[in-house]
Amino acid sequence: MPSNSTGLIPRVWRIFKRVVITLFFLQLFYLLLLKWVDPPITLTQLGSVFRGEGLHRSYVSMKNISPYARLAVICSEDQLFPDHDGFDFKSIEKAMKHNQKSKSLRGASTISQQVAKNVFLWQGRDWLRKGLEVYFTFMIEWIWGKKRILEIYLNVSEMGKGIYGIEAASRSYFNKPARTLTRLEAARIAACLPNPRVYTVRPLSGYVATKSVWIQTQMGNLQEDPDIQKLLQ
């Protein structure tokens, strides 16, 4: 007579496969849905609520976001955004070499990677998250396209303590909607993105003041690029 354990392993394996397949199709459905529907909430935003920082956000469509804001974040965070397929391998290689030699860690995430992390995953540097980030980056590049990725980025990115998205940031810092942001205002918000808890727009930190000048210079240099122009229209 076969032991109970002999039949248990195949049953567990069948259940495991069903769970994996179900989760795969659920995430695929959610990923497709977000091509048109804004994310209800992200793990990073939930963390803000649990820390007692609140959650200030207001999703807006691309037409209600100043072209200066779109250009500023591209110039600040990912100048090759219109051209790559989700990954900037030269920047990744440079960051890896830097991190091997220095105690200060340097990131090389593209806007697409940041969206994949912020919308679908958690903050951290563990290998599981990085592996999932690669998958979701590939999928949003394939399914969403550049304009939708940029729109989501401008709506979910942390731009201050408890402040998420360009609309909430614009109203918090400049008391105006995102569609009317000036070049300088957009550059200052973009300048805080590497670490908005430290690099503050209000009060204006030295880093943001200096970085925003550099961003405005880059905006002048890149604004006529045909591929970038497509994202500003």
Please name each of the domains of the chain with its CATH number.
10-232 (1.10.3810.10)
**Which pair of tokens denotes residue 6?**
């002999």
* Residue percentage of the chain with pLDDT more than 90: 75
pLDDT in tens, 147-205: 999 999 999 999 999 999 999 999 999 999 999 999 999 999 999 999 999 999 999 99
Q: Give the CA count within 13 Å in the CB-facing half-sphere of 31.
A: 22
Measure the CA–CA gap between 158 and 32, rounded to whole angstroms.
23
Q: Per-residue confidence at 106, pLDDT binned at 50, 70, 90?
A: very low
The alpha-helical segments, DSSP class H, found in the chain are: 4-33, 43-50, 67-77, 89-101, 111-120, 127-143, 146-156, 166-174, 183-191, 206-222, 226-232
Task: Indicate the pTM of the whole model.
Answer: 0.88
- Given the structure tokens 């220095």, which residue do they identify? 102
pLDDT in tens, 131-151: 999 999 999 999 999 999 999
Q: Per-residue confidence at 15, pLDDT binned at 50, 70, 90?
A: confident
Task: Taking residues 93-112, report their average pLDDT.
Answer: 60
- Given the structure tokens 């729109």, which residue do they identify? 151
